Amino acid sequence: MTLAAADDAFAADLAAQLPADTLRATEPRYLEEPRGRWTGTSRHLALPRTAEEVATILRACNAAQVGVIPYGGGTGLVGGQIAPQGMPEPLILSLERMNAIRGVFTEENVLIAEAGVILADVQTAAADVDRLFPLSLASEGSARIGGLLGTNAGGVNVLRYGNTRDLVLGLEAVLPDGQIWHGLKRLRKDNTGYDLRHLLIGAEGTLGVITAAALKLSPIPAGRGTALMVVESPTAALKLLSMARSQMGEGVSAFELMSRMGLDFLAEKVPEVRQPFAERPEWMVLIDVGLARGLDPSEALETLFGEALEAGLVSDGLIAQSEAQADDFWQVRERTPEANRMIGAVSSHDISVPLSAIPDFIAKGYEVIGALGDFRINCFGHMGDGNLHYNIFSAPGRNRADHDNQRDEIKRTLHDLCHEMGGSVSAEHGIGRLKVGDLERYGDPAKLSAMRAIKAALDPSGIMNPGAVLRTV
Amino acid sequence: MTLAAADDAFAADLAAQLPADTLRATEPRYLEEPRGRWTGTSRHLALPRTAEEVATILRACNAAQVGVIPYGGGTGLVGGQIAPQGMPEPLILSLERMNAIRGVFTEENVLIAEAGVILADVQTAAADVDRLFPLSLASEGSARIGGLLGTNAGGVNVLRYGNTRDLVLGLEAVLPDGQIWHGLKRLRKDNTGYDLRHLLIGAEGTLGVITAAALKLSPIPAGRGTALMVVESPTAALKLLSMARSQMGEGVSAFELMSRMGLDFLAEKVPEVRQPFAERPEWMVLIDVGLARGLDPSEALETLFGEALEAGLVSDGLIAQSEAQADDFWQVRERTPEANRMIGAVSSHDISVPLSAIPDFIAKGYEVIGALGDFRINCFGHMGDGNLHYNIFSAPGRNRADHDNQRDEIKRTLHDLCHEMGGSVSAEHGIGRLKVGDLERYGDPAKLSAMRAIKAALDPSGIMNPGAVLRTV
């Protein structure tokens, strides 16, 4: 299948079918991505305001065999939002003007947001009616709902509330042929046919364009508590997690692992972040709990610490005495990626393994990467979900460019290890364009063949985000 | 597409490719369903023990263009498990011999069960390691995991723990062409391509055969409490639910609505069930809570009752003082379907509407059904999920057969109302063969067209559960 370019003639034709100012010249910010690995080439950008306009655009693209890149907040880390070089220039379809919150149904714990709404605005709208929209991640100030759904974003509260897909009741979406699926149901139970919702969520815009979603809200837990605890090892951290969950059940909202390397990087590059312990520990965990009425979170965390101390799992700990202190603790976790970027990783990995395999994975990871040379490793992340960010840096005094020729081998080595242990080489970031080869290497052949059949069935011209997730054929 | 019959020659050929005794003559129990609406005609039954044997069977069926009916516990209520009359005789594929629990990963809260394991056995295996598998429904003593997944079963704990699909981390399945998808990952985060898991779950065996699943377990809440409360109206019940959730958050596990009609039916047909109140109330709710360590469920329910009494939402209430009493309360709810069957419904409905629309739906339902004649209505069910079982009976002294000619009109009237209110005409039972026409009438056209494209892509010969969910073309 050969696609045509979104050239000036195509854009002029399409513009004539849409309200004035819907088609525009692309600005540079649509052609860049956070890590600077790709630069796009599209000249034309569509900014629809309604699902009907999206449908008009997809019909025109289908008729002219022009590729379309759905664009949310541009925060993706795997290049899914960037028109690849070397293919016919696609049209960029940004949902940013579809940014209405269409309704809030407080008693139902439901909020309907259009694809262009920024995550932080959904969180605020939920808080305004005394509810919680639990999806939370570093880019929440700029990531948009459509992109978060397209990539099934993860973040820090998955342990308790699930991934993005678990927070969605219904969708409105435009299918590749321009049909609009009016699926914005606010139902907790609806067994009428195949679950198209979950097929579009996580498909990274390759099967259609999500234009709005009915999102689940949650009650805000009555009391919040935050603690940092120094653990002897990842194994001890795992046991601490288990102890915490047996004491507090669903009350454990986040359980993040951090290593001394991350604290060292912060001290060097982001010194304004307060170091929590006088001596930087080898391993520590950040625990966030949200408990029901009648329970005291500080007390619950003290009980946990006491029992963990007795069991030899922890050696030191801090329980936040105020919201400000809790925020300080979270700064340590949330500004780690910034410090990492300033150091400059040779290679970054977003992997998951079965929970019980984490300690073994970390140990073997040090081994196999150590065998390739002298590297520093900052391994941290959402331990409660089995999801680690495993970033590899050059030794002090050297820099990432010194290892350009090793990057592929490093990636391969770590991903092979992860795959052997039953893990995933893309836990929460998706495939995008970065990991198409990884999916081919590690993906189950039957699943891949089903994916290709579904793609061909729903998007026979291959116009939707061409080259993302699946290689164009 | 015309299918061929699973005749003796086909069965003999297939038997030769499988271990002895895998192909058998069908027994009558595979040709009946709980409500006696359909009778199947298949003569041949396959009882594979492994995914590889299932693959052999599907390859043979594909080669010979023979239809296959995947069969679990046979408890489905919409005829999905029954070979339809008037089509070429299909092969029945029962998963009952794939009944191993392949592994329990206590620290990960994961259990891997084959498709033939009975739900109650999964519950027991979870309890044995001090965990909860929260899926719970009336047929749990005979329903099997494969069928529960195929239909995305609901039940009484959806409010807290979600539908069956929300309890699944990974699947092993055989695709229609005989490829085995090895997707039994034990990962909480895995964004590597389209979510084939959610596509197969709820597809009612029309897109492949699920052979095993990695299931999520939960911590067992530290304390359980159960109460019955008399509410003034469905509106009051809705407010009580909201109050309960703001007091106890996720602690509310079940919230079931029952009406006087149901209590009258129980008194008449199942008198051994203890009536909880001296005078049968118009409306009451059954509340089950599971609270964390440090909270007293009885106390929490008393607080709730006190505040609800003050707010004028409830007029009477009982809080279970023992497990035995809690079981007594649940008997009232769980034996209601039995009483219904003994009375004999003219028409039964498994519908859902947005939570806030429930009172309005109930009121309008009485109106539109009342306009069709003199009927008794037993409306009860999973109010917390917006899911009601809305069953319509003849007036005393008449019987269901008197209304045979009205059944279609009754169904249509109630389903039209439900659809207008943004509801679903199959909340938890699925489409099967009973509701194929409903799906065509009420389903979104874009979704239906996507479903047909997906079916054609994954099962081009149309061998998988032909006639279920989608009409054969």
- Residues of chain B neighbouring A381 (CB-CB closer than 8 A): none
Q: How far is B170 from chain A (nearest CA, A)?
A: 11
Domain B344-429 sits in CATH at 3.30.70.2740
Pairing between β-strand A180-183 and β-strand A101-105 as defined by DSSP bridges: unpaired
Confidence label for A1 from pLDDT (cuts 50, 70 and 90)? low
Q: What is the tens place of the pLDDT at every residue in B380-405?
A: 999 999 999 999 999 999 999 999 99
B261-302: per-residue pLDDT in tens?
999 999 999 999 999 999 999 999 999 999 988 899 999 999
Residue A347 belongs to what H/E stretch? strand A347-352
Q: Strand B283-291 vs strand A68-71: parallel, antiparallel, or unpaired?
A: unpaired
Q: Is the pLDDT of residue A26 over 90?
A: yes
For domain A101-219, is the CATH number 3.30.465.10? yes
Q: Evaluate if residue A127 carries a pLDDT over 70.
A: yes
For chain B, the helix, strand and coil percentages under 3-state DSSP, each to the nearest 5:
40, 25, 40
Instruction: Give tens-digit pLDDT for B402-428.
Output: 999 999 999 999 999 999 999 999 999
pLDDT of residue A40: 87
Q: What is the pLDDT of residue A23?
A: 98
Is-contact B340 B34, C-beta < 8 A? no
Which of A160, A189, A201 to probe the B interface (max B CBs under 10 A)? A189
* A354 CA: distance to closest CA in chain B (Å): 5
Residue A118 dihedral angles phi and psi, to the nearest 5°: -75, 140
Q: Which residues contact A274 (CB under 8 A, 6 or more apart)?
A: A328, A331, A332
CB distance B57 to B18 below 8 Å: yes
Please choose, from the candidates B402, B377, B370, the residue with its C-alpha nearest in 3D space to the C-alpha of residue B391.
Answer: B377
- Do B431 and A191 count as a contact with CB atoms less than 8 A apart? yes
- Non-local (6+) Cβ contacts of A406 within 8 A are A346, A372, A373
Give A23's DSSP letter. Answer: E
Amino acid at position A85, single letter: Q
What is the rounded CA–CA span in Å between residue A209 and residue A51? 9
Per-residue confidence band for A440, with pLDDT thresholds at 50, 70 and 90: very high
Using the CB atoms, write b or e for B236-262: b if 16+ within 10 Å. Answer: bbbbbbbbbbebbbbbbbbbbbbbebb
- Cβ distance A191 to B221 less than 8 Å, yes or no, reads no
The b-or-e profile of A435-469 (16+ CB within 10 A means b, else e) is bbebbeebbbebbbbbbebbbbbbbebbbbbbbbb
Q: What one-letter code names the amino acid at B436?
A: V
Q: Over the range B68-78, which residues count as b (16 or more CB within 10 Å of their CB) and which as e? A: bbbbbbbbbbb
Nearest CA in chain B to A104: B356
CA distance B294 to chain A (A): 7
Yes or no: say if A387 and A351 are a contact pair by the CB < 8 Å rule.
yes
Q: Does the pLDDT value for residue B162 go beyond 90?
A: yes
Query: For domain A223-333, which CATH number applies: 3.30.70.2190, 2.60.40.10, 3.10.20.600, 3.40.309.10?
Result: 3.30.70.2190
> Is a pLDDT exceeding 90 seen at residue A36?
no
Asked whether A446 and B179 are in contact (CB, 8 A), the reply is yes
In a 3-state reduction of DSSP, which class is residue B204?
coil
Q: How many CB atoms lie within 10 A of CB A313?
A: 25
Write down the mean pLDDT value for chain A.
Answer: 96
pLDDT at B1: 62
Whether residue B369 has pLDDT greater than 80: yes
Q: Could you report the per-residue pLDDT of A233-254, keeping only the tens digit for each?
A: 999 999 999 999 989 988 999 9
Determine whether A279 is exposed, middle or buried from the number of CB atoms within 10 Å of its CB (0-12, 13-18, 19+). Answer: exposed
User: Mean pLDDT throughout B200-225?
Assistant: 96
Q: Could you tell me the two tokens for A225?
A: 């508590």
CA–CA dist B71, A151 (Å, integer): 35
What does residue B348 show for φ and ψ, rounded to 5 degrees? -120, 145
Q: Which residues in B159-313 belong to E strands, given as ranges? A: 168-174, 180-183, 209-216, 218-219, 223-231, 252-259, 283-291
Summarised one tens digit per residue, pLDDT across range B304-354 is: 999 999 999 999 999 999 999 999 999 999 999 999 999 999 999 999 999
Report the distance separating Cα B438 and Cα B345, nearest Å. Answer: 19
Interval A441-472: pLDDT, tens? 999 999 999 999 999 999 999 999 999 999 98
- What pLDDT score does A249 carry? 87
Instruction: Over range A391-414, report the average pLDDT.
Output: 95
Q: What is the pLDDT of residue B85?
A: 78
Measured between beta carbons, which residues in chain A are less than 8 angstroms from residue B202?
Answer: 191, 193-195
pLDDT at B41: 86
B424 with A192: Cβ contact below 8 A: yes
Angle in degrees, CA B259, B264, B267, rounded to 5: 130
Dump the DSSP string for B6-26.
Answer: --HHHHHHHHHTS-TTSEEEP
**Residues on chain A touching B446 (C-beta within 8 angstroms):** 175, 179-182
Which distant-in-sequence residues (6+ apart) come within 8 Å of A340 by Cβ?
A: A262, A265, A348, A378, A391, A393
| Cβ contact A192–B386 (<8 Å) | no
Residue that has been written with the tokens 């836990």 in this structure: A427
Q: CB distance B446–A194 less than 8 Å?
A: no
The number of beta carbons lying within 10 Å of the beta carbon of residue B302 is: 15
- For A124-146, what is the mean pLDDT? 96
The secondary element (H helix, E strand) that includes residue B132 is strand B131-132
Q: How confident is the model at residue A29 (pLDDT cuts 50, 70, 90)?
A: very high
Q: Is the CB of B353 less than 8 angstroms away from the CB of A187? A: yes
CA distance A458 to A453: 9
Question: Taking CA atoms, what residue in B is nearest to A187?
Answer: B354
Identify the residue whose tokens are 């597409």. Answer: B1
pLDDT band, residue B358 (cuts 50/70/90): very high
**Pick from A469, A437, A345, A463: which is nearest to A34 by CA?**
A345
Question: Cβ distance B187 to A354 under 8 Å?
Answer: yes
The alpha-carbon gap from B135 to the nearest alpha carbon of chain A, in Å, equals: 14
pLDDT for res A443: 97
Q: In what order do the strands lie in the sheet with B375-382?
A: B314-319, B223-231, B283-291, B252-259, B375-382, B387-394, B347-352
Note the pLDDT of residue B84: 75
List chain B residues with CB under 8 Å of A248.
Answer: 292-293
d(CA B343, CA B265): 7
CB under 8 Å to B442, separation ≥6 — which residues? A192, B415, B419, B425
Nearest residue on chain B to A175, alpha-carbon basis: B446
**Which of these, B470, B462, B467, B455, lies nearest to B84 by C-alpha position?**
B467
Those residues with Cβ within 8 angstroms of residue B132's Cβ, 6 or more apart along the chain or in another chain = B126, B217, B218, B219, B220, B221
**Which of B205, B208, B209 shows the shortest CA–CA distance to B83?**
B205
Token pair 């539109």: residue? B368
Average pLDDT over residues B68-90: 92
> A451, B196: Cβ pair inside 8 Å?
yes
CB < 8 Å to B55, chain A: none
Domain A223-333 and domain A344-429, same fold? Reply is yes
**Cα distance between residue A222 and residue A165, in whole Å:** 25
Chain A residue numbers touching B197 (CB-CB < 8 A): 198
Angle at B391 between CA B386 and CA B393, to 5 degrees: 160
- Strand arrangement, sheet containing A168-174: A101-105, A110-114, A209-216, A168-174, A180-183
Distance separating alpha carbons of residues B121 and B214, to the nearest angstrom: 15
**Where along chain A do its domains lie?**
101-219, 223-333, 344-429
What is the rounded distance in angstroms from the CA atom of residue A160 to the CA atom of residue B120?
Answer: 26
The highest-level CATH class for domain B223-337 is alpha beta
Strands (E), A146-265: 168-174, 180-183, 209-216, 218-219, 223-231, 252-259
d(CA B417, CA B412): 9
Q: Between chain A and chain B, how many beta carbons pairs sit less than 8 Å apart?
A: 293
Q: Which of B181, B249, B355 sits opposite A108 (nearest CB)?
A: B355
**Contact partners, residue A266, CB within 8 Å, separation at least 6:** A273, A275, A332, A335, A336, A339
Tokens of A205: 């815009």
Residue B410 is encoded by which pair of tokens? 């009754």
